[in-house]
Amino acid sequence: MTNGLEVLAQTVVSGNLLLVYGLGLYVLTRYTKNVREAAAAGITVFTGMLVGSVLLWLCAPIIPGSPVPKVGFYLLVGLVAGLVASGLLKQGYKAVDSAVVGLLLLLGSGGVTGVQNVWMALGAGLGFFLVLVVMASIRRRLELAPIPKPLRGLPIMLITTGLLAIALLGFRF
């Protein structure tokens, strides 16, 4: 259990998918206009990650060994996980996303197996959800701040996300 909780903490903070790997920037730029929208997108991606990790866990015996079929297999699992999550939640936003597939590819390249997949997906999904909600709150403030015109919009958002990520790098453990 301690190991599971450790993995969970690491994936939420020091291994945050969005801040450390840059995965899911499309969701960040499109679905953080307000906290409600960000939370809904976060839940969808979280569900996609969870479904994907469970599928990987269940499909462990049939994961191909050689690199090319293995990559194809992980991409297909990512597609199925995204479609299942979108179908389960019936929201406008589709969970067919680089964050979901990126997590599965990271799990595959890291040799993560069994229930560890689910722990990592829980942490990654929670971390992704939290960053979206935090960034939606920051974006509200940024809209009211006197920012020079060329920096407004996407530039200041990327710079702010980058600075938040640099701050989190200090929590590597």
By the rule CB under 8 A, 51 interacts with other proteins: no
DSSP state of 96: -
Are 41 and 132 in contact, with CB atoms under 8 Å apart?
yes
- List the structure tokens of 60: 């462990």
Q: Which residues contact 7 (CB under 8 A, 6 or more apart)?
A: 116, 119, 120, 123
Helix, strand, coil percentages, rounded to 5, for the chain:
75, 0, 25
Restricted to residues 109-168, the positions that interact with other proteins (CB under 8 A) are: 109, 148-159, 161-163, 165-166
- CB nearer to other proteins: pick between 86 and 126: 86
- For other proteins, what does the binding mask look like between residues 1 and 40, x meaning CB under 8 A? ------------------xxxxxxxx--xx----------
- List the structure tokens of 38: 């960000």
Please pick, from the candidates 65, 67, 111, 170, the single residue that binds other proteins as defined by CB under 8 A: 67
Binding site for other proteins (CB under 8 A): 19-26, 29-30, 67-68, 71-72, 74-76, 78-79, 83, 94, 96-98, 100-102, 105-106, 109, 148-159, 161-163, 165-166, 169
